[in-house]
Amino acid sequence: MGRFGAGVLGRRDTGVLPDGPAVLACTGLSRSFGGVHALRGVDLELDPGRTLAIIGPNGAGKSSLINVLTGLYAPSSGTVTLDGTDLRRTSMADRTRAGLMRTFQGNRIFGTLTVGACLAIGLEAPRARAGRHDVGSLAADFGLEALLDRPVKDLPYGIQKILNLAMVAASRPRVLLLDEPFAGVHADGVERLSAVIDDFRTAGVAVGVVEHNIAALMRIADDVVVLDSGRLIFRGTPTEAEVSPVVREAYLGASAARGGAA
Ligand SMILES: Nc1ncnc2c1ncn2[C@@H]1O[C@H](COP(=O)(O)OP(=O)(O)OP(=O)(O)O)[C@@H](O)[C@H]1O
């Protein structure tokens, strides 16, 4: 672990874009879709150098939370702030430029391109600093150096996800929100991905992870919040979450609603 903590992410920027640690917070965040209340009055904070697990049953509002925090959707009410600055009038692109970044559930990377070409694209992003690092050093930081000429589509899904994170890392995120990073990845891939995600935290990034593989997520989480029907019903440590009757009830309730399947 810590392979790239002192590398890509650790290098200090002297340019005009903000750099260094940032706190992402929301208060009273709500979002409705027609009659569906996807988020109801959510207050939370993501802190630099910590990983926040965002869990909850299907339809609890987890993806909606990421979508509203990053500006893909506007909130129906409530505020989102980055280092105390209200992001109400900040577009998704400008949030990215300020270091608020995300990944999506599927891999939105370019299947027929090679790993090297993808990393080169990552290094062209607005926050990536030309000349600071090259494809080779970025690949080495993520253990991808032997794969530079390989088409992305030929690689295991877990490696594709690591590549995706390497491309994000080129832009030096301050806050990173991951939507189901482990979905579709087999066990040893999950372990490698976990180490990479943990490296972002070690480098001082505020990390938020939505994930159904709770066992794997709890191994890298410092803090846990649980959403249920759009409400934040629990906030605590992984150990506290494990024994919380409120958390158990939320999952059992959802399972009962599906007909008792665990
Ligand atoms: N773009 C949208 N249009 C309409 N309804 C939406 C939209 N996005 C989310 N919803 C609804 O909001 C609620 C919360 O959905 P969301 O995807 O945020 O939950 P989730 O916790 O991420 O679920 P899952 O774990 O199944 O991915 C659901 O009822 C969903 O149908």
Per residue in 167-207, pLDDT (tens digit) is: 999 998 999 999 999 999 999 899 999 999 999 999 999 99
Q: Do the domain assignments include residue 163?
A: no
Q: Which residues, in sequence order, are bridge partners of residue 39?
A: 31
CA distance 155 to 60: 32
Q: Which residues, in sequence order, are bridge partners of residue 53?
A: 209, 224
CATH code, domain with 40: 3.40.50.300
CB of 22 sitting under 6 A from ligand 1: no
Instruction: Name the 3-class secondary structure at 107.
Output: coil
CB of 74 sitting under 6 A from ligand 1: no
Q: Do the domain assignments include residue 8?
A: no
Residue 22: name the closest of 207, 171, 179, 167 by CA.
207
CA distance 87 to 74: 10
Q: Do the domain assignments include residue 222?
A: yes
CB of 59 sitting under 6 A from ligand 1: yes
**Which of the residues in the chain have pLDDT under 50?**
1-2, 5-6, 10-17, 260-262
Identify whether the C-beta of residue 183 lies closer than 8 Å to the C-beta of residue 212.
yes
Q: Do the domain assignments include residue 189?
A: yes
Identify whether the C-beta of residue 224 lies closer than 8 Å to the C-beta of residue 202.
no
Q: Tokens standing for 26? A: 């929301």
Q: Do the domain assignments include residue 167?
A: no
pTM, rounded to two decimals: 0.90
Q: If you take atom 9 of ligand 1, which residue's CA is the nearest one?
A: 64
The total of structural domains in the chain comes to 1
Could you tell me the residue range of the domain that residue 104 belongs to?
24-109+174-257
- Tracing tokens 């650790």 back to the chain, one arrives at 10
The stretches of 32-114 forming alpha helices (DSSP H) are 62-69, 92-97
Q: Tell me the pLDDT tens digit for each residue of 58-83.
A: 999 999 999 999 999 999 999 999 99
Q: Do the domain assignments include residue 247?
A: yes
Q: Do the domain assignments include residue 234?
A: yes
CB of 237 sitting under 6 A from ligand 1: no
